[in-house]
Copies of this chain bind each other. A is one copy, B any other.
């Protein structure tokens, strides 16, 4: 749990005592490759903080095609926030892609923690702020960029992901076909 504390203290310091209390809101969970953390249609009880591992969050259209909404690595928060905050059934799936360990926080715990400790409310707000910004950049990139630009931008931003997950998922994240993505850096003038 030390890593979680460090993560929180990137935003706001907490005393030993405070952290002891914060800890009680989380529960630990180990997840193996291919295991679902969340499935289509489930109620979303928790959000997850990833201590270790890689996940992808995607949803399926009627034809069963996958679209990746988010990757998540160590130190990231992850859930279907639409469903989590709105307390409606999820339409997303979250799957483990690499042996993982996560801490779970229910919505109730989250809100309790936020209301009892101003600094945790602040922490969550700052995290949300950063996420909001990142999403806005992604929207810009989806709207304007050619597949090539999108890929380059993504590769620059998240080199760790590019090297660790199969290309086809990157393609799904970028909104291009696997083949097109492949042609981008083989035929194309792109350094891996």
Residue positions of A touching B, CB distance < 8 A: 59, 61, 65, 67-69, 81-82, 85-86, 114-115, 118, 121-122, 124-125, 128-133, 135-140, 142-144, 172, 175
A69 and B132 contact, Cβ closer than 8 Å, known pairs A142-B143, A175-B143: no
Report the separation of the CA atoms of residues A68 and B144 in the bound assembly, to the nearest whole angstrom: 10
6 contacts between A and B (CB under 8 A): A81-B129, A81-B136, A124-B125, A128-B129, A128-B132, A135-B135
Chain A at the B interface: SS class: helix
Determine how close the nearest CB of chain B comes to the CB of A15; give it in whole angstroms: 18
Contact of A140 among B67, B85, B125 (CB under 8 A): B67
Report the nearest B residue to A86, measured CB to CB: B133
Are B136 and A139 interface neighbours, CB within 8 A?
Answer: no
Are A82 and B131 interface neighbours, CB within 8 A?
Answer: no
A131 and B133 contact, Cβ closer than 8 Å, known pairs A69-B139, A124-B125: no
Determine how close the nearest CB of chain B comes to the CB of A62; give it in whole angstroms: 10
